[in-house]
Amino acid sequence: MAASGRPTEIELKLLLPGHARAVLERHPALQAPRATAPEVREEHTTYFDTPGLSLAREGLSLRVRRRGDHRIQTLKTARNGSGVAASRGEWEWSTGQDAPDLSRVAETPFGAKISAAAAAGLQPVFETDVRRIVRDLRLDGETLAEAAIDEGRVAAGEAAEEISELELELKRGAPGPLYRLALELHATIPFTIGAESKAQRGLRLRTGEAPESLESELPTLDGDAPAAEAVRRIVGAELGHFVANQPAAATGKAEGVHQMRIGIRRLRTALALFGKHLEPHAARRFEAELKRLGQVFGAARDWDVFCTQVLPDAEADERARGWAELLREPAEAERRAAHRGVEEELGRPALTALMLGMAAWVEPDETGAKALGGGKLDRPFHKLAPVLLDRMARRVAGRGGHTRRRSAEELHGLRKALKKLRYSADYAAALYPPKPVDRYQKAAKRLLKLLGAANDAAVATALADRLCAGERSELAPATSALARWSEERRAGALRKLPKAWATFDAAAPFWR
């Protein structure tokens, strides 16, 4: 790619199960006339950084790839999390040396940072050896892609991992056909989506650190663009956030599971926000699968909170201290079982199909067909947003008020509706003056905090009751003590709810 401006690489990485390459090679989608003849490349790539990995901390990777007598130097930025396919800045140059040529990177927006890093001394930090089989693919419309089957290893010192993946890189055209191709291949070869680049895997091997969780970033929306474009950007951003947290969740990190659960909630919010304007059959199917996933991730999150927050707090309280400690071992066993459920889910073909399916659904179709929906989605987003937010606000109003008389289930319903309204307001916030937005969202967050505290206490009691079910009756005194302690906390939150509700109810909706 050119070394000026900010060229972008859009790449979908699919991890192949064992012995999948031979099946993939015979797939009709990779045969003529759609595909060119395969080209086999033996590639050795060295990644460079400072001893303190300062480039990686800036989200940059600098490498030199050797292919026969030819060498290519590449600078990449970290993925921006805007979709299932990774989108990164990428600059490439032919070079005649095995070490980076810093005069080339000086032409990029990151030249000064790399020059500063070079002063500390650049050195090889990890390497890859890959046998790559490459084909060019002509897809629907004017879309051109490259399919690369990679097999080999990434190594940092003595630490190493095997590489077996298919990379689909968009060369020209819209990304929709790329996702549809991936779905076509997935029907034959059930693979999982790779959230980590080779550079990220090498960096993890170098440091020995587990993958980090990532918080969601709000997409940038153009109020004058059609509402369909807002749907595409919102769903793309939340899918990207969901995918990016898979590695952390797969290692059992509580925050990784939490962030994936947030991703599920935000995707469900997007479907609810634009609901009546979306194509109903696909929207209902996606909602049903997201709801099921939410239950799996929600169970793991509930046990994470119980073991890492509820029990430590209870053990620090004199009234529950001796009893709460008795619940630790059985609770940790339940937590491990819930995380096994998450781990199994991450490896199931259904999860990959959901992400690819939603990504393909929201992308524009070159044929003119409106798979996402039509009608009012063609209107500018800033004109449709107030109508959408009003509908979400009415759902909250119908569940609010008289909070002292509401059951735990009713308050939980209010909390879920309010959370969806808050997420929806986040998406539209940039279209309005910041001060009214801030006042409204602060009132919503205060109310959500109290509703969350009340719900957490109710969930803690329910989980404790589960621990003494069956033949664990000896835990009944402990669960009773925890239930009394939780009920006191719940009562404290409930006492503050009427005032918080009144403050929120009086807050002026910023979109009117």
pLDDT digits (tens, 9 = 90+) for 161-202: 999 999 999 999 989 999 999 999 999 999 999 999 999 999
What pLDDT was estimated at residue 375?
Answer: 82
Name the residue among 218, 200, 248, 230 with its Cα closest to residue 49.
200
- In terms of C-beta density within 10 A (0-12 exposed, 13-18 middle, 19 or more buried), how is residue 29 classed? middle
- Identify the structural domains of the chain with CATH numbers, from first to last: 8-209 (2.40.320.10), 255-369+379-506 (1.40.20.10)
**DSSP summary character for residue 363:** S
> Could you give the C-alpha distances from 55 to 73, 114, 200, 258, 264, in angstroms and in order?
15, 7, 12, 28, 32
**In three state form, how does the secondary structure of 142-211 look?**
CCEEEEEEEEEEEEECCEEEEEEEEEEEEEECCCHHHHHHHHHHHCCCCCEECCCCHHHHHHHHHHCCCC
The per-residue pLDDT of the chain, averaged, comes to 92
What pLDDT was estimated at residue 80?
Answer: 66
What pLDDT was estimated at residue 315?
Answer: 85
Dist CA 198 CA 81 (whole Å): 16
What pLDDT was estimated at residue 322?
Answer: 76
pLDDT digits (tens, 9 = 90+) for 348-362: 999 999 999 999 999
Dist CA 414 CA 395 (whole Å): 8
> Coil, strand or helix: which one is 314?
helix
Cis peptide before 226 (omega within 30 of 0): no
pLDDT digits (tens, 9 = 90+) for 279-331: 999 999 999 999 999 999 999 999 999 999 999 998 888 777 778 888 999 99
Dist CA 386 CA 509 (whole Å): 10
Dist CA 286 CA 268 (whole Å): 9
H or E segment to which residue 166 belongs = strand 159-172
H or E segment to which residue 246 belongs = helix 246-250
Question: Given phi > 0 = left and psi -120 to 50 = alpha, else beta, which region is 76?
Answer: beta
Dist CA 145 CA 137 (whole Å): 5
Name the residue among 122, 133, 130, 90 with its Cα closest to residue 109.
90
Dist CA 444 CA 437 (whole Å): 11
pLDDT digits (tens, 9 = 90+) for 228-285: 999 999 999 999 999 999 999 999 999 999 999 999 999 999 999 999 999 999 999 9
Task: Compute the average pLDDT of residues 51-74.
Answer: 94
Name the residue among 7, 100, 2 with its Cα closest to residue 45.
100
Task: Compute the average pLDDT of residues 367-377.
Answer: 73
> Could you give the C-alpha distances from 396 to 381, 411, 417, 453, in angstroms and in order?
22, 11, 5, 18
Asked if residue 477 has pLDDT above 70, the reply is yes
**DSSP summary character for residue 194:** -
> Could you give the C-alpha distances from 82 to 78, 119, 135, 239, in angstroms and in order?
12, 33, 26, 8
Name the residue among 250, 268, 254, 275 with its Cα closest to residue 389.
275
Task: Compute the average pLDDT of residues 112-123.
Answer: 90
Decide: 100 and 75 in contact? Cβ < 8 Å.
no
Percentage above 70 pLDDT, the chain:
97
> Could you give the C-alpha distances from 24 to 19, 39, 353, 357, 499, in angstroms and in order?
9, 15, 17, 20, 61
Residue in this structure with the two tokens 């797939």, named with its chain if needed = 27
Decide: 428 and 447 in contact? Cβ < 8 Å.
no
What pLDDT was estimated at residue 4?
Answer: 38
Asked if residue 424 has pLDDT above 90, the reply is yes
DSSP percent split of the chain into helix, strand, coil, nearest 5: 55, 20, 25
